[in-house]
């Protein structure tokens, strides 16, 4: 019996030669697209950071760590404006020979704002609180002196009076500070005189801050 060897050759599919190159091209194309998208995202991030930095500088906020941050023109103007207001307030209070003239520049520094509307809002609350605190301090100091329990009762009463006057918590805060200064700080003289001096000093500081907001308004940046 004759033995024959038959060689069977399977047809090699065309896809075997096409698929590797095809998938390789797809992978390479995907990598290129990914790099392109990554570059696009990086570029967009840089643009957004530059825009944010520009807006921050325009709004008056200084970037931290900058070697020339102190030389920003809005900061120089604001510092000069605030210093002028504080000095003028102190000079006016001394001209009236007030015992504690330093309260006038302190009030001016608290009230000085970037616009007249903001200064008016804070000034009204501080004026109302000073009036209430000085009145309660004069009455309580004349009859009871620096007593802790009486002081706590006075603060509680000021809270009720501030609410009755339709004032917010800023007025209550200023009233409590005025009461503490009038009643608790030991001084020579009747309490009503101390309360009046306190009222006069705060009023001078308020007027100087408001006049400054009209005469030398601080420019507001457009956002």
Tell me the mean pLDDT in the region 194-216.
Answer: 92
Confidence check: pLDDT of 30 > 70: no
More confident residue, 141 or 8: 141
CA–CA dist 112, 122 (Å, integer): 9
Residue 119's pLDDT band, with cuts at 50, 70 and 90, is confident
Q: What is the mean pLDDT of residues 39-55?
A: 51
pLDDT band at 116, cuts 50/70/90? confident
| Cα(207)–Cα(19) distance, integer angstroms | 85
**pLDDT 10s digits, 51-109:** 554 444 444 444 444 445 555 678 888 889 999 999 999 999 999 999 899 999 999 99
Lookup: tokens for 112: 């000085």
205 CB-near residues (< 8 Å, 6+ apart) = 89, 93, 103, 104, 105, 106, 107, 108, 110, 111
Q: State how far the Cα of 138 lies from the Cα of 132, in Å rounded to an integer.
A: 10
Mean pLDDT of the chain: 76
Give me the mean pLDDT over the 114-137 stretch.
87
Question: Token digits for 58?
Answer: 């325009």
Helical spans, DSSP H, in the chain: 15-58, 73-95, 103-111, 116-143, 148-164, 169-184, 191-215
pLDDT (mean) for 23-40: 50
**The two structure tokens encoding residue 130:** 């000073």
What proportion of the chain, given as a percentage, has pLDDT over 90?
41
The answer to whether residues 136 and 154 touch, using CB atoms and an 8 Å cutoff, is yes
Residues 6+ apart with CB under 8 A from 106: 205
Give the residue, 134 or 32, on which the prediction is more confident: 134
Three-class SS state of 135:
helix
**Whether pLDDT at 188 is above 60:** yes
Average pLDDT rounded to a whole number, residues 108-125: 81
The span from the CA of 91 to the CA of 100, in Å, is 12
């Amino acid at each position: 019996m004759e033995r024959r060897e038959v060689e069977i050759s399977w047809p090699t599919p065309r896809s075997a030669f096409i698929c590797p190159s095809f998938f390789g091209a797809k992978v390479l194309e995907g990598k290129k697209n990914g790099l392109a998208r990554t570059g696009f995202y990086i570029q967009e991030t840089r643009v957004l950071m530059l825009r944010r930095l520009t807006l921050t500088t325009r709004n008056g906020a200084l970037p931290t760590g900058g070697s020339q941050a102190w030389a920003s023109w809005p900061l120089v103007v604001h510092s000069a404006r605030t210093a002028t207001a504080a000095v003028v307030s102190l000079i006016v209070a001394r001209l009236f020979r007030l015992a504690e003239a330093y309260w006038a520049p302190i009030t001016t520094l608290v009230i000085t704002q970037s616009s007249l509307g903001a200064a008016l809002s804070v000034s009204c609350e501080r004026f109302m609180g000073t009036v209430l605190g000085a009145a309660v301090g004069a009455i309580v100091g004349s009859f009871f002196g620096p007593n802790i329990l009486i002081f706590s009762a006075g603060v509680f009463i000021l809270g009720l009076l501030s609410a009755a006057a339709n004032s917010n918590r800023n007025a209550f805060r200023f009233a409590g500070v005025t009461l503490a200064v009038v009643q608790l700080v030991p001084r020579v003289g009747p309490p009503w005189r101390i309360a009046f001096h306190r009222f006069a000093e705060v009023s001078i500081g308020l007027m100087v801050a408001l006049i400054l907001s009209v005469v030398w308004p601080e420019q507001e940046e457009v956002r």
